[in-house]
Structure 1
Amino acid sequence: MKNRFVQLLVVLVSLIGCRNAEPADTTGSQLAAPVVPASQIFADDATINRYESAIQAFMQRNFGARGFNGAYLIAKDGEIIREEYIGYRDPVLKDQVLQEHDAFHLASVSKTFTAMAVLKLWEEGKLSLDDELSNYFEKFPYKNITIKMLLNHRSGLPNYTNYLDVYGWNKKKLASNLDVLASLYKMHPPIQFTAGRRFSYCNTNYALLALIIEKVSGQSFPEFMDEKFFIPLQMNDTYVFRPEDAAGSMPSFEANNRRYGLEFMDLVYGDKNVYSTVRDMLKWDQALYSDSLFKPATLQAAFTGYSYEKSGMRNYGLGWRLTELKNGKKIVYHNGWWHGNNTVFIRLPEEKATIIMLGNRYNRGIYKAKQLCDLFGDYQQSNNLFQDPDSDGSVSVGGGSE
């Protein structure tokens, strides 16, 4: 935890900057947001208590009865407002309490790394987003599908997590990314719709993107991610899962504490299988504000919605979910769920605020973390996040689940 002075500073910055924040200067090589001027430092205990009560009430409302096993971090301008590690690596044995270096399976939050890796290759001129998959996979059995359609889930491809076992995959054999590719040729499950017609979330898209990264870069997917992101950003506890990591990686559990073992789809990466910590994910968040990692045009492409055939606030960019509110606010985020792992990674670029919640025991309450966006601005995720305390000292927190 940060000390109380730092909490005091960060809470005030949240209050001052949440409505009219100016974009930070991200030129040069600095990855983190600039220091807030000392003239903005002022707050009282009531303000601090207001924030602390809201966060504590959120945790109590959503996890008080069922419990939370994991870690969460809330930050503004790269400074941590609140950070907690609750529970154990193994909630049954209870032999090791969770600590800051314990890396969680990010599940589909991994897609943010895969997408940005593709966009890095695009920046470097090594591929085009309009390239068809037949450019990379000889005689690919589905026509007119581009890299961009994989990124924004408009390919229409069938989802391997749904069809592999239905089409007779031997569950005693651990499938690889190449196996997923081969299954499209051999099993030829029907396409969902004509390529580009609409949005449909599909893990196959990102399993194939990882193969394209390998083909273009000449490196394995884990090696490429290490070289381009994890090592330069000093994300020292972050890695792509490989079979040799099975013994030491964080296990996951059902809500009833049944432990998941290694199952037949657990080696496929790109759509999942990045492990990380809340602090490393904050480094990833902050790096996305720096021109030294990506060009502004690349980030704009990533955070732009591509599926407007249906009305509504929800959309999908290139590896990022989006909530686009009528008041102009935008939530850039991704959720994850694989086995007992539930994960949330939320970015509020206008306020440079970050909400990260990672758990390894199944609990859908984690997805309600979007309510916490209203700590920083009018994101309309919770109508009563800052209501006065109830008689028992708690603060009521409303809103539905993601």
Structure 2
Amino acid sequence: MRVVAVIIAWTLLTIGCKSKTQAQKDKTEDIHSNALSFDVEQMTEADKARYQKVLSDFFDSALIRRGFNGGILIAKGGNVLYESYHGFQDPNRKSDTINAQTQFHLASTSKPFTAVTVLKLVQAGKIGLQDPVTRYFPAFPYPAVTVEQLLSHRSGLPNYLSVMEDKTKWNPKQMISNDDVLRFLEQYKPVPMFKAGSRFAYCNTNFVLLALIVEHVTGKKFPQYVKETIFEPLQMNHSFVYTPADSGHVIMSYKPSGALWVNDQFDNTYGDKNVYSTPEDMFKWDRALYNPSFIRQSLLDSAYQPHSHEKPSIHNYGLGWRMLNLPNGKNVIYHNGKWHGFTPAFGRLLDEKAVIIILGNKMNSNMYNMARKAYDFFGDYMQNRVSGGEEETESRTAAATAMPESTVKPAPRPAKKTVKPAPAKPSRTSGKSTAKKQIKKAPEKKAAPAKKKVTATKKKTKK
């Protein structure tokens, strides 16, 4: 009888454990399902065809026929309006045609993934925006720097891409990890650019440290944690954070001449870069950011607020996101990138729930220009009337920089009526202007946009 009782108890316990495991699995699946759910805007087939036609004409003439090597996806309200892939993973050998499954390095377009990962931990009460970095790393030699200042590039920290090029302090033949960056700062204590919180300066050190904070808090390596909390729930099946184990399995990038862009000692750090993804996965990412089941809307609202006001400008930075705050009340939430020959463009138009995604592996700064001009297909985003002010020329130098100034000052709140066009300021982006048809009911632009002057970029740059 005693043996029978033990067997029964063991059976009940096993059933209970299975039930608990199943409940956890069901809860996880519910979370995944909720994160993927979103409303799709109703569009007529005629409207879709009209968008497809003008977008195809626009990109074919001004980008694709000019040596573009990559993928493009444009969508609105959950509807894919244009998707196209061109070129080869190795453009010199013309091998392995680029397709919807080709995974591109996102460069600094990776930063929003890091920011949202941190904000989800803020939501869970595991990280505080006002926490000093020393809470997580007591030996960190800049005690005034906070998590929020890392996210908004207001920390004043020196850029590791510059200070670790000192051959007397780091062997350039030795690859650098995130832990190496922290140890270097702790050991050598390089002079900060400015007092923490006093101004904006784009600095990749900030996001390397944020990835380390995520690892410290969760007890998991950053690539694995992002996989479990973002890529898997959103079914971004072709996205991952690069580690040395992926070497040899990812595509390389190329210079405009077609020459291979050789990797260097900085290619293993993540948080600031090293997410690989596809246009279709990035579309899933965009859609998830409209879903409060994935992340609380109030946190995203804080991420989309300008955090730097030292210089009047339509350009600003939030928490892991760049933005255009236009004088007619329109706003663009975006983050482009540049690492070696990878020059991704990712722009989100929240009013229309439209997204512009352009990824490639052959350096082509015209990708930024074309993405920016495509905003005007969905509303009056004034892209032929204001300075592009893009960040393609940001380098590894540690100089403190203010946000680019514009001739147009932002309105304190959205205007009810469209303002009169402001005088155009020469753009620093490359590429010739292209006339576009406006799909929305808006007056046609009569003046042709001014030709742009091509801006030279340094070899070692990243934004």
Q: Could you state the TM-score of these two structures normalised by the residue count of structure 2?
A: 0.75
Once the two structures are superposed, residues 282-340 of structure 1 have per-residue CA deviations (whole angstroms, 9 ceiling, x without a partner) of 00000001111011111101111100111010000100000001111110000100011
| Deviation of 1:263 (Å) | 1.7
Partner Cα separation in structure 2 for residue 329 and residue 248 of structure 1: 41
2:80 is paired with a residue whose SS is strand
Question: Aligned runs of 1:323-402 on 2, under 5 Å?
Answer: 323-368=324-369, 369-382=371-384, 384-386=435-437
Once the two structures are superposed, residues 159-196 of structure 1 have per-residue CA deviations (whole angstroms, 9 ceiling, x without a partner) of 11122113532111000001111111223221000000
2:336 is paired with a residue whose SS is strand
Question: Aligned runs of 1:96-107 on 2, under 5 Å?
Answer: 96-107=96-107
Partner Cα separation in structure 2 for residue 139 and residue 275 of structure 1: 32
Answer yes or no: is the 8 Å Cα contact 1:385–1:398 preserved in 2: no
Answer yes or no: is the 8 Å Cα contact 1:154–1:195 preserved in 2: yes
Give the paired residue count. 363
- Residue 157 of structure 2 is matched in structure 1 by 157
Partner Cα separation in structure 2 for residue 299 and residue 137 of structure 1: 27
- Residue 395 of structure 2 is matched in structure 1 by none
Q: 1:238 to 1:387 in 2, by over 3 A?
A: closer
1:43 equivalent in alignment to 2:46? yes
1:145 equivalent in alignment to 2:196? no
Partner Cα separation in structure 2 for residue 120 and residue 237 of structure 1: 22
Question: Aligned runs of 1:154-233 on 2, under 5 Å?
Answer: 154-166=154-166, 168=168, 169-233=170-234
Greater Cα radius of gyration, structure 1 or 2? 2
What is the identity, as a one-letter code, of the residue corresponding to 2:46? A
Q: 1:201 to 1:273 in 2, by over 3 A?
A: same
| Deviation of 1:220 (Å) | 0.3
Partner Cα separation in structure 1 for residue 349 and residue 438 of structure 2: 22
What is the identity, as a one-letter code, of the residue corresponding to 1:330? N
Greater alpha carbon shift after TM alignment, 254-263 vs 154-163? 254-263
Q: 1:201 to 1:100 in 2, by over 3 A?
A: same
Answer yes or no: is the 8 Å Cα contact 2:35–2:294 preserved in 1: no
1:235 is paired with a residue whose SS is coil
Q: 1:131 to 1:68 in 2, by over 3 A?
A: same
Partner Cα separation in structure 2 for residue 124 and residue 297 of structure 1: 14
Partner Cα separation in structure 1 for residue 35 and residue 159 of structure 2: 39
The answer for unaligned runs of 5 or more in structure 2 is 1-32, 386-434, 440-447, 456-463
| Deviation of 1:56 (Å) | 2.5
Partner Cα separation in structure 1 for residue 46 and residue 263 of structure 2: 50
What is the identity, as a one-letter code, of the residue corresponding to 2:153? H
- Residue 317 of structure 1 is matched in structure 2 by 318
Higher relative contact order (CA 8 A, sep 6+): 1
Partner Cα separation in structure 1 for residue 277 and residue 55 of structure 2: 26
Question: Aligned runs of 1:234-383 on 2, under 5 Å?
Answer: 234-368=235-369, 369-382=371-384
Paired-residue identity, %: 44
| Deviation of 1:64 (Å) | 3.4
| Deviation of 1:349 (Å) | 1.0
Q: 1:90 to 1:348 in 2, by over 3 A?
A: same
| Deviation of 1:43 (Å) | 3.5
Of 28, 31, 34 in structure 1, the residue corresponding to residue 36 of structure 2 is 31
1:91 equivalent in alignment to 2:91? yes
Once the two structures are superposed, residues 110-135 of structure 1 have per-residue CA deviations (whole angstroms, 9 ceiling, x without a partner) of 00100000000000000100000111
| Deviation of 1:79 (Å) | 1.3
